[in-house]
Amino acid sequence: MVNVAIVGLGLVGSELLAQLHKTKNHALRVVALTNSRRMLLSDASYTPLASTAATALAASESATSLSELAAYLAASLVPAVVVDCTSSDAVAALYPSWLRAGLSIVTPNKKAFSGDLELYNEIRSLAAFANGPFVYHESTVGAGLPVLSTLSDLVKTGDKVVKVEGIFSGTMSYIFNNFSTLNTAGEKKRFSEIVTVAKELGYTEPDPRDDLNGMDVARKVAIAGRLIGVPLTLSTLTVENVVPAPLRTVSTSHEFLTRLPEHDEHFAALNAQAAKAGEVLRYVGVVDALEPAHSGAKFVRYPAAHPFASLQGSDNIIKITTERFPNGLIIQGAGAGAAVTAFGIFADLLRVQERVGGL
């Protein structure tokens, strides 16, 4: 039995709630929900909240207080997990206090695992005990794809991870899979056109520059690196910004998209150069465990036969090279979206449930 609190009831939090209710897993009981304004705590006997709880949250008159939430969870004899479905730095900063209160944490929020190393190390040391509390964050990299669990297993069983290389951003994947292909059928689309369509499809952040600047990929590189013992930080990682320099400072995303066509020729030329060599353009993240300084978020070319070259849609693909897998262990599939992100969170919750199962 595990008490579950969901902090942040946006797309992912709501989908998780739906998945939890659908499976009728009675060992994971949702007893608290919060969004940025309101909070809903189950009664003092920690009765599970019904599947209509999202509606009840909207009607709740309690203002959100994360310290009150933590105290409520810690007061139960039943172990509890806080699921942080925000992308907030402020919430991430609370993890140490939650862990000290014995609360486990499961989250797709990248901030704590890619930001300040001191916070990161504090979290790791507070979650280093066999009987909990536990921290799982599979969905911070590749959403529900089993990337971090596999890296963790490789490390714990004594394998040497040499390199982790991949297309970690669904947005970058969509843009370059469509822009740069060796398939000669059909007319070539302009770069600006593809970015505009990606935004219309909801594949980008509200301002597509927040994807194209490479910072999301850099965060995932830092997370994967730290997990295999390479203490990467955003400030020292090499991050290539795909946004043309003159457009980095324009104030609105509308202006950015309006002026992006001025740079279509630049991207078309890069594409043509690559095609001439039988290659395609891809935006990848790299953790190089042997030469950590070569790690980063990079705009590079791959030959047609490489698995990254034939990627489709907005899939992620991650290649892990180790002593035991010298030719690589590859994991590929949808790496963004509420359903697969919530799946990754749910799978992490099952780990916590299993680990406290005997209690």
Out of 220, 276, 298, 319, which one is annotated catalytic?
Answer: 220
Closest CA to 324 of 117, 161, 166, 212: 161
| Cβ-based neighbours of 234, under 8 Å, separated by 6 or more | 114, 115, 215, 218, 219, 222
Per the annotation, does 86 bind a ligand? yes
Distances (CA, A) of 314 to 82, 198, 220, 335: 30, 10, 16, 8
298 among known catalytic residues: no
Using the minimum distance from each CB to a second copy, give the nearer residue, 259 or 351: 351
Closest CA to 154 of 321, 341, 335: 321
Q: Cβ 264 to a second copy, closest distance in Å?
A: 27
Closest CA to 248 of 238, 239, 259: 259
3-state secondary structure of 296: strand
Per the annotation, does 236 bind a ligand? no
315 forms bridges with which residues in the sheet?
334
Per the annotation, does 9 bind a ligand? yes
Using the minimum distance from each CB to a second copy, give the nearer residue, 159 or 240: 159
Distance CA 257, CA 195 (A): 8
Per the annotation, does 10 bind a ligand? yes
Q: Cβ 190 to a second copy, closest distance in Å?
A: 24
Q: Cβ 349 to a second copy, closest distance in Å?
A: 9
Q: Cβ 18 to a second copy, closest distance in Å?
A: 9
**How do the residues of the chain divide into helix, strand and coil, expressed in percent and rounded to 5?**
40, 20, 40
Per the annotation, does 13 bind a ligand? yes
Q: Cβ 174 to a second copy, closest distance in Å?
A: 12
Give, in degrees to the nearest 5, the angle at Cα 79 between 73 and 81: 65
**DSSP per residue, 237-286:** SEE---S-GGGSS-S-HHHHHHHGGGGHHHHHHHHHHHHHTTEEEEEEEE
Using the minimum distance from each CB to a second copy, give the nearer residue, 62 or 310: 310
Per the annotation, does 110 bind a ligand? yes
List residues binding a second copy (CB under 8 A): 19, 22-23, 25, 27, 130-132, 144-146, 149-150, 153-154, 156-159, 305, 307, 310, 312-313, 315, 323-325, 327-334, 339-340, 343, 346-347, 350-351, 354-359
Paired sense of beta strands 104-106 and 80-84, if any: parallel
Q: Omega before 133 cis (within 30°)?
A: yes
Q: What tokens were used for 350?
A: 């099952």
| Cβ-based neighbours of 114, under 8 Å, separated by 6 or more | 140, 218, 219, 220, 222, 223, 234
Q: Cβ 333 to a second copy, closest distance in Å?
A: 4
Using the minimum distance from each CB to a second copy, give the nearer residue, 270 or 331: 331
Per the annotation, does 249 bind a ligand? no
Per the annotation, does 17 bind a ligand? no
Distance CA 257, CA 252 (A): 9
Using the minimum distance from each CB to a second copy, give the nearer residue, 160 or 263: 160
- Binding-site residue positions for L-homoserine: 205
- Binding-site residue positions for NADP(+): 8-13
- Binding-site residue positions: 8-13, 86, 110, 205
Annotated catalytic sites, by residue?
Answer: 220
